[in-house]
């Protein structure tokens, strides 16, 4: 009997709110009927910056409002992995395991690390860090999810570098957050990127880009060059069962990772439309969203 693959659509809790207000962002997601979120920031702080009291206050409010956390969007991997930052990231990922337990998720995000002074193999150091953090994650029954940053100064940012890192760590607890828009920031677009990395995808972030290499041209999925209709079609064909997370960055040129309410609603409706066209049943909607623009 043929069954329709079901995909979960999630939001990033802070992206609809220019001020990173927790309830403002959750209000928008509630309006869309989305009850799955990636937890990244609130009250002006990223989750890794929060002290325990603030984090518990945020987590309890998320639970009180009936949201399920799919990923702890920590900030490990954003710095140059020198000795001090390596120690900090080990501390943060250890704490992230505990915090993930509190909010009920198994996924912890890491980024692609920055390159420091010339003459040092920063990619090799990044691999050492991913390996150490993956061991910590695995011990806590968690998966470390690699997201390549759009920043061109990173040691792990292109599709080839991500693939090399995933193969080097070689662990089921180290997987990829596939974000075509981030690859687009490096000038990489097209279905070949998906084909290269598909075996490692555990999560998907959705942003599109009109002009590859220029992050000021982020746009709604389907309006840019990333090829979302074909990407979603192939995810459906492989029975992808992870999350599709709305992270359009439509006000990125004005403020870091923000879209605002109306932009976020419009972007979400478009993504749902494209997913359904690709053959998915979309989970986590209480009511059918307005028609895409």
The pLDDT tens digits for 275-292 are: 999 999 998 754 443 434
**pLDDT tens-place string over residues 209-240:** 999 999 999 999 999 999 999 999 999 999 99
Residue 288's pLDDT is 41
Residue 228's pLDDT is 98
How deeply is 194 buried, as exposed, middle or buried, from its count of CB atoms within 10 A (0-12, 13-18, 19+)? buried
How deeply is 2 buried, as exposed, middle or buried, from its count of CB atoms within 10 A (0-12, 13-18, 19+)? exposed
Residue 33's pLDDT is 94
* pLDDT averaged over every residue in the chain: 93
Residue 151's pLDDT is 84
pLDDT reading at 1 higher than 90? no
Calpha distance 15→59 (Å, rounded): 17
Instruction: Find residue 244's DSSP bridge partners.
Output: 9, 204
Residue 287's pLDDT is 40
Q: What is the mean pLDDT of residues 258-267?
A: 94
Residue 2's pLDDT is 59
Would you place residue 4 in the very low, low, confident or very high pLDDT band (cuts 50, 70, 90)? confident
**pLDDT tens-place string over residues 27-74:** 999 999 999 999 999 998 999 999 999 999 999 999 999 999 999 999
Percent of the chain with pLDDT over 90: 88
Residue 291's pLDDT is 39
Domains defined for the chain, CATH in brackets: 6-283 (3.20.20.150)
42 contacts 15 by C-beta, under 8 angstroms: no
Taking the CB of residue 31, how many other CB atoms lie within 10 A of it?
Answer: 16
Please give the C-alpha separations between residue 275 and each of 12, 182, 183, 232, in angstroms, as whole numbers.
18, 20, 20, 6
Q: Where are the alpha helices (DSSP H) in the chain?
A: 22-32, 52-64, 83-103, 122-139, 159-169, 180-185, 191-197, 228-237, 261-278
How deeply is 192 buried, as exposed, middle or buried, from its count of CB atoms within 10 A (0-12, 13-18, 19+)? exposed
Write b or e for each residue in 172-181: b if 16 or more Cβ atoms lie within 10 A of its Cβ, otherwise e: ebbbbbbbbb
pLDDT reading at 253 higher than 90? no
């Amino acid at each position: 009997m043929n069954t329709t693959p079901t995909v979960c659509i999630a939001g990033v809790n802070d992206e609809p709110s220019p001020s990173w207000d927790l309830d403002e962002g959750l209000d928008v997601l509630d309006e869309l009927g989305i009850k799955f979120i990636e937890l990244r920031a609130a009250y002006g702080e990223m989750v890794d910056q929060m002290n325990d009291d603030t984090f518990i206050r945020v987590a309890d409010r998320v639970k009180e409002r009936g949201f399920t956390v799919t990923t702890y969007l920590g900030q490990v991997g954003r710095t140059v992995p020198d000795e001090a930052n390596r120690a900090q990231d080990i501390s943060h990922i250890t704490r992230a395991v505990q915090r993930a337990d509190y909010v009920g998720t198994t996924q912890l995000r890491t980024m692609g690390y920055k390159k420091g002074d010339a003459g040092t193999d920063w990619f090799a150091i990044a691999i050492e860090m991913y390996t150490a953090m993956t061991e910590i994650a695995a011990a806590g029954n968690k998966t470390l999810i690699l997201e390549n940053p759009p920043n061109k100064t990173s040691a792990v940012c292109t599709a080839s570098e991500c693939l090399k890192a995933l193969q080097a760590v070689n662990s089921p607890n180290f997987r990829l957050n596939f974000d075509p828009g981030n690859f687009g920031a490096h000038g990489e677009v097209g279905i070949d990127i998906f084909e290269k990395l598909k075996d490692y995808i555990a999560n998907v972030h959705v942003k599109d880009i009109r002009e590859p290499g220029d992050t000021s041209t982020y746009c709604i999925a389907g309006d840019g060059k990333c090829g979302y209709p074909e990407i979603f079609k192939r995810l459906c064909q492989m029975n992808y069962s992870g999350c599709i997370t709305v992270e359009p960055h439509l006000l990125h040129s004005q403020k870091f990772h923000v879209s605002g309410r109306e932009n976020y609603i419009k972007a979400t409706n478009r993504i749902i439309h494209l997913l359904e066209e690709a053959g998915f049943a979309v989970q986590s909607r209480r009511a059918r969203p307005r028609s895409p623009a």
